Amino acid sequence: LQGLTIEENRFGFEPEITAKLAKMKCSIYEVGISYSGRTYEEGKKIGWKDGFRAIFVILKYGLAKRK
């Protein structure tokens, strides 16, 4: 991870790291957690635009040539 250059902020951060690690052939493991998401009334800040941004970031870094 120390050699990765992170360019994204907000909700593009996680997809960028995932795409870059996948290109490096690193193993990625899912770990189950318990989670209770916030409602919009409680301050939920993610929306459908963030989902499109995440897809864009995955394609951007997943298809980009390795530096």
Nearest to 66, CA basis, from 2, 3, 14: 3
In a domain, residue 64? The reply is: yes
Q: Is residue 39 situated within a structural domain?
A: no
pLDDT band at 57 (very low <50, low <70, confident <90, very high): confident
Per the confidence metrics, is the pTM higher than 0.85? no
Interval 13-33: pLDDT, tens: 888 888 888 888 889 888 999
Q: What is the DSSP letter of 42?
A: T
Domain count, the chain: 1
Hey, what are 57's tokens? 């970031």
Whether residue 50 is contained in a domain is answered as yes
Q: Give the confidence band of 58 by pLDDT, cuts at 50, 70, 90.
A: confident
Cβ burial, residue 67 (10 Å; 0-12/13-18/19+): exposed
Given a cut of 90, whether residue 34 has pLDDT beyond it is yes
Interval 33-39 mean pLDDT: 86
Distance (Å) of CA 61 to CA 28, 31, 32, 37, 40: 16, 23, 26, 28, 30
Q: What domain range includes position 24? A: 10-28+45-67
